[in-house]
Structure 1
Amino acid sequence: MPYNEHSIRKMLPTTYPRKHVAHEIYDALTHFKSLVPLMDRYVYNDGTTKNLMSLTGTIPVMFEEDQTYNIPVCLWIEESYPQTAPICFVRPTHGMMLVGGQYISNSGEVVLPYLEEWKCGECDLLSLLQVMVVVFGDFPPVCMQPHPEPEQAPCWLQFHRHSEVLSKTDGSMYLDLTGEDDLPFQEHETNC
Structure 2
Amino acid sequence: MPYSEEAIKKMLPRSYLRKHVAGEIYHAVTHFKNLVPIMDKYVYNDGTTKHLMSLTGTIPVMFTDNIYNIPICVWIEESYPQTAPICYVRPTCDMMLITGKYISSNAEVVLPYLEEWNGECDLLSLLQVMVVIFGEFPPMYMRPCPEPEQDSCWLQFQRQEELHSNADGSLCLSLTGEDGQSFQQENETNC
Q: State if a TM-score over 0.5 links the two structures.
A: yes
For residues 36-185 of structure 1, what are the structure 2 equivalents within 5 Å? Answer: 36-64=36-64, 66-120=65-119, 122-155=120-153
Q: Which amino acid aligns with 1:3?
A: Y
**2:27 matched to which residue of 1?**
27
Q: 1:152 offset after TM fit, Å?
A: 3.3
The share of aligned pairs that are identical, in percent, is 71
Q: 1:101 offset after TM fit, Å?
A: 0.8
Per-residue CA distance 1:87-106 (angstroms, 9 max, x = gap): 00000012111001100001
Q: Which amino acid aligns with 1:16?
A: Y
Change (3 A) 1:154 1:4: same
Q: List alignment gaps of at least 5 residues for structure 1.
A: 160-178, 181-185
Per-residue CA distance 1:56-113 (angstroms, 9 max, x = gap): 000001112x211111000000000000000000000121110011000011100000
* CA root-mean-square deviation: 2.2
Q: 1:149 offset after TM fit, Å?
A: 1.1
Normalising by structure 1, we get a TM-score of 0.80
Using the alignment, how far apart are the partners of 1:130 and 1:189 within structure 2? 66
Q: Which amino acid aligns with 1:129?
A: L
Per-residue CA distance 1:4-43 (angstroms, 9 max, x = gap): 0010011111111111100000000110000000011111
Q: List alignment gaps of at least 5 residues for structure 2.
A: 160-170, 176-190
**1:170 matched to which residue of 2?**
none
**2:12 matched to which residue of 1?**
12
Structure 1 segments of 4 or more deviating over 4 A?
A: none
Q: Which amino acid aligns with 1:78?
A: E
Q: Which amino acid aligns with 2:149?
A: E
Using the alignment, how far apart are the partners of 2:115 and 2:172 within structure 1? 74
Change (3 A) 1:35 1:189: farther
Per-residue CA distance 1:111-166 (angstroms, 9 max, x = gap): 0000000002x00000000000010111000111112211134235x59xxxxxxx
**Secondary structure of 1:188's aligned partner:** strand
**1:188 matched to which residue of 2?**
173
Flag the structure with larger Rg: 2
Q: 1:47 offset after TM fit, Å?
A: 0.6
